[in-house]
Amino acid sequence: MNLPNGDLRSKICVSIAEPSVRACLDALREVSFAEVRLDAIDGMAPDEVAAIFSLPLRLIATCRPGRGREEDRLALLLAAVAAGARCVDVELETDVAFRASVVNAARAAGTEVIVSHHDYARTPCREDLCAIVDACFAAGADVAKVACQANDARDASRLLGLLDDSRRLVVIGMGAEGVITRVVGPLLGGEFTFAALHEGAQTAPGQLDVVELERRMRVILP
């Protein structure tokens, strides 16, 4: 695979998890494709979302559960879709009504849907992984994202094996043993991979900064 510079960078999504809208906007000046972690922004209100998602960038709206009320999280995701987010991420395990609200709003707005699954302890067996992928698409995904803790090389290999699929997938092995999936996944047919803006800004275990990730990808490319 021989990808021009622009095509390679289109496969790297920078994950932005800044504590304020201003810091988020400052970080976005350096990128063209990013995931914005709305759950990381302190006191984020729906009426502030447009400042971010009206930018002429390829942006994924993500708001992970756990920091506040589910109705507030839903309001942020819907506001991002309304403001022009290119993609919106909703977890497979999220309440069905919540997920349906996001998917329906995205369909109406022409926003792509990423349905994601995260396992922070292990990588399931191949059969279970395939069932998870199928469930993501059944839930309305345009892109299925499967991120699992890779505890050894076989876990990483099993995740990469999911890319033998005609559907659009992102596979991530979290942790040190999963770094290889972040580097070669998009080179083997994955939609894209995630990177930190710089060292120290990682949003998940094993995530490389964007400069290092691109360097490693170029070592592999002919």
Which pTM value belongs to this model? 0.94
pLDDT in tens, 68-91: 899 999 999 999 999 999 999 999
pLDDT of amino acid 4: 47
For 25-92, give the DSSP string.
HHHHTT-SEEEEEGGGSTT--GGGTHHHHTSSSEEEEE--SSSS-HHHHHHHHHHHHHHT-SEEEEET
pLDDT in tens, 125-171: 999 999 999 999 999 999 999 999 999 999 999 999 999 999 999 99
Amino acid making up residue 64? R
pLDDT in tens, 164-173: 999 999 999 9
CB 172 within 8 Å of CB 146: yes
145 catalytic, yes or no? yes
Domains of the chain: 5-220 (3.20.20.70)
pLDDT of amino acid 24: 97
Q: Which residue shows structure tokens 């992928």?
A: 133
**Non-local CB neighbours of 41 within 8 Å, separated by 6+ positions:** 18, 19, 20, 21, 24
User: Rounded to an integer, what distance in angstroms lies between the CA atom of residue 127 and that of residue 13?
Assistant: 28
Considering 11, 117, 145, 198, which one is annotated as catalytic?
Answer: 145
Report the pLDDT averaged over residues 48-61.
96
Considering 11, 117, 118, 198, which one is annotated as catalytic?
Answer: 118
Q: Which two three-digit tokens encode residue 168?
A: 């659009």
